[in-house]
Amino acid sequence: MSKPVPPPDSSSQAAAAPPKSHPAYAVDRRHRILERVALEQTIHVGELARELRVSEMTIRRDIRRLERDGFLRQTYGGATAHITRSFDVAFNARALQSTREKRVIGMRATRLVEDARTAFVGIGTTAEQFARYLNPRGDLTIVTASLPIASLLGTRPFQVVVLGGTVLHDELSCVGAAALRTLERFRFEVAVLGAAGLSARWGITELTDEEAEIQRVAIDRADRLIVIADGSKIGVATNVVVAPAERIEVLVTDPSADPKELAALKATGIEIILASAERGSETRSRRSEATSPPGLVAASAG
């Protein structure tokens, strides 16, 4: 008859057990994705999801957010794409430096709406910077599809309307029929939009048709259209067209934008403002206007 096996010592069992890990926070996941892209140029959603203890859908949302913010661009292909969801990613190193540029662009763009009483503000991190630096005004009504922007402005003395409807998890933006019905109740003196891409050929482009449709309706209901986009978005065309470049009145970008593409955009009739954080940049630009493409205006953040 076999002897009974004594229960394992709880202290030794605890020592041998691997420590419990928790799912990574969003900012840590996105840093890990960018590190992987920088090292390997390719990432596999399933593999990364297992490493970070999150769902594959969460990783896909992170990739979409990073793509929209200009950090990377994804392309689909290969026989295993439907199984592994493998993404070949062209890493945009310049976009890693664009946080300051987005802030300066947003600050500069606020000066263009000082007389407006109704404004639509789009989605994305550059639009969030614009909202962050708006001067508080009780007579300004802001309509937005962006929950982060509504949160930024909602505690300040603006009249803020958020569209409602279906919320996209990656952007925290409102889309769908309910959002469109709310939007159609307003007209705007100005619409201020970010862009996943902007080119003279394709105009403003977005990543999804749901987001693009909200922006199309907002543009149709606005007297003026201002686009705010850092240099990494200029010359880029993503898969969904929002509106032609000719519809834009003013583009606020930064000096890293491709000069040839800026010249092509200027030829469509757009006023282009190059926002720079460097002191004195506006004066230097004015002195060199004779050699700059007409329609380009350089401006400092101050």
What is the tens place of the pLDDT at every residue in 235-273? Answer: 999 999 999 999 999 999 999 999 999 999 999 999 999
Say whether pLDDT at 290 is over 50: no
Q: Which residue has the higher pLDDT, 33 or 8?
A: 33
pLDDT at 48 (0 to 100): 84
CATH, domain range 21-91: 1.10.10.10
Say which residue, 21 or 57, is predicted with more confidence. Answer: 57
CA quadruple 170, 171, 175, 179: dihedral, nearest 10:
140
The CA distance from 143 to 222, in Å, is 12
Task: List the one residue out of 72, 2, 3 whose CA is nearest residue 31.
Answer: 72
Interatomic CA distance for residues 221 and 33, integer angstroms: 38
- Does the pLDDT of residue 194 top 80, yes or no? yes
Residues of the chain with CATH 3.40.50.1360: 96-300
Q: What are the residues whose beta carbons fall under 8 Å from the beta carbon of 222, sequence distance 6 or more?
A: 120, 187, 188, 189, 190, 191
CATH number (3.40.50.2300, 3.40.50.1360, 3.40.50.1980, 3.50.50.60) of 96-300 reads 3.40.50.1360
From-to residues of CATH 1.10.10.10 in the chain:
21-91
Where residue 122 falls among pLDDT bands split at 50, 70, 90? Answer: very high
Quickly count: other Cβ atoms within 10 Å of residue 83's Cβ.
9
What are the pLDDT digits (tens) for 33-90? 877 776 666 778 888 888 888 888 888 888 887 777 666 666 554 322 222 334 444 4
